[in-house]
Structure 1
Amino acid sequence: MDDPVVHTVRVVGATHHFPSPSAIFVEYRDGDELRSAARRLGVPLVHEPWRQLSESLVRIKPGVETSPPVRGGAPIEKWDAQSRRFTVFEIRTAWPSGLYRQEVFGRFRYALHSQDKWYKTNHAEGVYIIAGQNDELIRWRPDPTDPASAPGTLIVDNGVSLPDPQRRAVGLCTGLGPKIGKHSRNTRYDNVPRDIAEAVANSLRQPLTLLLETSGGENGI
């Protein structure tokens, strides 16, 4: 039996991100060759780890109750769903519902305000919790060369990001990092099956928008 062919892909990330890990791809003809390659590489052999991770995703929800931002402290910022960024918020009489952040001891503290209560959260999850069902933050497009095939592209809107569990699940579909759209700046994860995309969207309390038709440019990316 010939040794399997192993390819290492060096991933170059953007300068403002942490360095992306390299990916190793193995060419093999049967299960024995694949198991042999795993032993040579010193790694466990796991079948479809992205599917296992997607099945373990839990629907996000607000954290425990907490206190509101401190008036008179560092500037208070509120998430603006239109611009997809935090803007300085001047509190006058009442706190509108929404996602807030305030720097405390050099780190941002995030809190959700809903029905006169405050809840702990983080940036990534808080954005999805307050998002409406019509915001279309997550999209999926089938492979334009073979629309009937299972894998496609998961597209996350500009200004938002996936929480770590969801990002790991879709990232393992290729083993490579996401791509950023040249014009829209959306984040794109390739080779994601539709059922995995639906599991991710459901865990983030969002409907999955299907892009079944493509046009020029970046095809909606």
Structure 2
Amino acid sequence: MTLYAVFRTEAELAEGAAEAGLALAGLAAHRIALSLNSIEPRDPTGPPAYGSEVKRLHTTQPREWLPVSAAQSNPSDGLYSEQVHGRPRYITRRGGEWFASELSIGIFAELARRGESAVRWRIDSERKGADTGTVFVDWGAPLPTLHSRALVLCTGLPPKFGTIATTAIYENVPRSIAARVCTSLGQALVID
């Protein structure tokens, strides 16, 4: 069961929780956001298997992969995918070296390498002192689990999905949390 209550200050919230016999869990979204490390390829791995079907990420919005040759002598930096036992394996090439990657981390590392952004924040209100807003993330760039969790915990609700702009929409996100999520993803906080 989820119960929503409106409070003006954190002290009022703590008092209300105590009166209801509930424990105040604190600011989980802030704690998670502060714990996010910078994503970057770190785990060395081998190149794609010779003769395997390899694709290179071309664009993220929409997500498009282009076939490349696994036998290519000096492939360019980027995010690659190959099928291994029927499952995708994602690997990133940086400076002549190969690194293992998850899809979401690989996409954001590639966006950072290209200097592109897939995350935007829009303030909820024009009132003075307002610092909460809505985060929009392009569908082609799925957030890593902890990054998504930090944004979801701002409301306790899953993201909405915008079909026209093809974005995941996270509401009631403080600017500080949005900025920390973006920084750890190698993204600049784009403010709409």
Q: TM-score, normalised by structure 1?
A: 0.75
Residues 96-175 of structure 1 aligned to structure 2 (within 5 Å): 96-132=76-112, 134-144=115-125, 146=127, 148-175=129-156
Equivalent position of 1:77 in the other structure? 55
182-191 vs 124-133, greater mean Cα deviation: 124-133
The structure with higher relative contact order (CA 8 Å, sep 6+) is 2
> Deviation above 3 Å: which 4+ runs of structure 1?
26-33, 35-39, 144-148
2:3 pairs, out of 7, 17, 25, with 25
Q: Is the contact made by 2:30 and 2:150 (CA closer than 8 Å) also made in structure 1?
A: yes
Q: Aligned equivalents of 2:116 and 2:169: distance in 1?
A: 17
Unaligned runs of 5+ in 1: 1-7, 9-23, 212-221
Identity %: 29
Q: Aligned equivalents of 1:201 and 1:170: distance in 2?
A: 11
Equivalent position of 1:34 in the other structure? 17
Equivalent position of 1:68 in the other structure? 47
Specify the code of the residue in structure 1 equivalent to 2:31: Q
Shift in CA distance, 200/179, structure 1 to aligned 2, threshold 3 Å: same
Unaligned runs of 5+ in 2: none
Q: Is the contact made by 2:57 and 2:64 (CA closer than 8 Å) also made in structure 1?
A: yes
Report the alpha carbon displacement of residue 148 of structure 1 after superposing the two structures with TM: 4.2
Q: Is the contact made by 1:54 and 1:196 (CA closer than 8 Å) also made in structure 2?
A: yes
- Within the alignment, does 1:54 sit opposite 2:37 as a pair? no
Query: What is the SS of the residue equivalent to 1:100?
Result: strand
Query: What is the SS of the residue equivalent to 2:117?
Result: coil
Report the alpha carbon displacement of residue 83 of structure 1 after superposing the two structures with TM: 4.7
Q: Say how many residue pairs are matched.
A: 184
Q: Aligned equivalents of 2:125 and 2:108: distance in 1?
A: 28
- Within the alignment, does 1:89 sit opposite 2:89 as a pair? no
Question: Greater helix percent: which structure?
Answer: 2
Report the alpha carbon displacement of residue 100 of structure 1 after superposing the two structures with TM: 0.6
C-alpha RMSD over aligned residues: 2.2
Give deviations 1:4-52, integer Å, cap 9, x for gaps. xxxx4xxxxxxxxxxxxxxx1243885354136464xxxx531111111
Report the alpha carbon displacement of residue 129 of structure 1 after superposing the two structures with TM: 0.9
